[in-house]
A and B are shown apart, each in its own frame.
Chain A
Amino acid sequence: MNYFQTIRDAAILLALLIVPAVFLRANLRDPSELSWLDRALLQVSGPVQYVAEWAADGVTSIVEDYVYLLDVKSDNDHLRAENDRLQREMRVLRSDVQRVRELESLLGLRERLAAETMTARVIAKDISPSFRVVRLAIDRGEQAGVHAGMPVVANQGLVGQIRRVSGRFADVLLTIDPESRVDVVVGESRARGRIEGLGDRGRYRCRIQFDRMDDRVAVGDEVFTSGLGKKFPASILIGTISEVGGPELGLQQEGEVTPAVDFTRLDEVLILTAGPKDPGAL
């Protein structure tokens, strides 16, 4: 490096120190005390600094907006998960509400029956190819004191009777089963008879046979248990007459009854563990 270069470098280095110091001095002075040199320097630096700050603010704003969007995405994910959780909880609560209503309804039925009862939950249903329930299983069995033949009722009416019990479970013989026989009485006419299940796997129907040929019954009449034989308490609704026919062989008047119970929607039932204290309560 020759002498000239050394001098040049030294001058530049000195300038690198002095120039910012001069600009700094101009910037730091009170505006009322500015000299002509300070004003000239500020005139030069002001617009440049304004443009640079504007550009820097723009860049910062873009980057911060991007970071903000990342936060929004995170918030969205969090809220979506929260929403899913609340939806699940709401479905469970709706189901619980439905169950509470059914239980309240059963409680009312229990009070109306004034008999010793036991609540049971339907745990299995055999469904026919036509989507009709042909068999029920409940979660009470021998251990709970359940015996075959005990009546099973729901809020809408008679479901059937216990057919078979095992340790903790029991099968219910439905009123629509061909093996089911119940002595009945028709609401207004007090006509007596007996119903048996038709075993129709496509629809819920029972056949009713009246004791007398001259009983005046009509479609829509309600059919109740008669209490005869003490197998079922009296006055439990079974269903309504949906068809009345003449005597096929000239011996008895017959008809069809549509059960009041919707077996498809049964979730809770009552088992009558002892006879009614007050027959005719329902």
Chain B
Amino acid sequence: MRSARGSIIIVLVAFAILLFQSVFSRLLAPYPFSPYVGLPFVFALATAPGIRLLRGALTAFAIGYLYDFFTGNPLGLHTFVFVVGYFTAWLLGYLLSFRGIIFEMVLSFVLTVLLGGLLELIRGFTPGGIARSGGTLTLALFASAFATALLAPILFALVRWVDPESERTPS
């Protein structure tokens, strides 16, 4: 019950931050340095020792679902990418033993580039979608991943603060 409440709070916090970003993005993070603020939440859930795989995946699903609703993207786009990102981060967290701020930043950067690429790839199949040139797309992806990596330690810490259970290693 406590873990469900933690997940709900994480989803609401992610939603609030997305709202904040959508309002202040022009001031705080001008294009192309627009971070994917939802992704570090998903990565934090995936690499937290105290969060079960199923619970983390459901939370990532909910965050992605809210993203789709809120951003007006085709329903399922962020949901799918966030769940894929969750599984990928979980796998990397399972394979790699080290943790810390550097790990959080590098993980966020690499996965944001990959998942951002996946997002753009899927968008490319959208009827009437906006096609962007390779150079523009690469610049946008890397700049966005860089901004996301900078924010990642804060968002990881936020998840730990919101849900202290996530840090507890299961017995």
Contacts and interface: CB of A to CB of B under 8 A. Distances in A.
Give the most central of B76, B77, B79: most A CB within 10 Å. B76
A17 B72 contact: no
Given A63-B23, A64-B23, A20 B54 contact: no
A17 to B, nearest CB: 5
B58 A16 contact: yes
Contacts of B58: 12, 16
Given A16-B58, A23-B79, A49 B69 contact: yes
A249 interface: no
Interface in A1-42: 9, 12-13, 16-17, 19-31
B76 A56 contact: no
Interface string A226-268: 0000000000000000000000000000000000000000000
Contacts of B122: 24, 28
Nearest to A33: B127
A9 B127 CA distance: 35
Given A9-B53, A60-B23, A20 B79 contact: yes
Range for the number of chain B residues in contact with chain A: 20 to 34
A52 interface: yes
A53 interface: yes
Contact of A60 (B19, B54, B79): B19
Contacts of A23: 75-76, 79
Contact of A9 (B54, B69, B74, B77): B54
Interface residues of A, number: 28
Given A12-B54, A16-B83, A63-B23, A24 B72 contact: no
B103 interface: no
Contacts, number: 76
B79 A13 contact: no
B64 interface: yes
A20 B65 CA distance: 9
Nearest to A53: B72
A63 B75 contact: no
B57 A13 contact: yes
Given A20-B64, A20-B83, A45-B75, A30 B127 contact: yes
A138 to B, nearest CB: 60
B33 interface: no
A219 interface: no
A13 B61 CA distance: 10
Contact of B19 (A19, A31, A59): A59
B98 interface: no
B126 interface: yes
Contact of B74 (A22, A28, A52, A64): A28
14 contacts: A9-B53, A12-B57, A13-B54, A13-B57, A16-B58, A17-B80, A20-B61, A20-B79, A20-B83, A25-B76, A53-B69, A56-B70, A63-B19, A63-B23
Given A9-B54, A53-B70, 7 more contacts: A16-B61, A20-B76, A24-B76, A24-B122, A45-B75, A49-B68, A60-B23
6 shortest interchain CB distances as A-B pairs: A24-B76, A23-B76, A20-B79, A27-B74, A52-B69, A20-B80
Interface of B: 19, 22-24, 53-54, 57-58, 60-61, 64-65, 68-70, 72, 74-77, 79-80, 83-84, 87, 122, 125-127
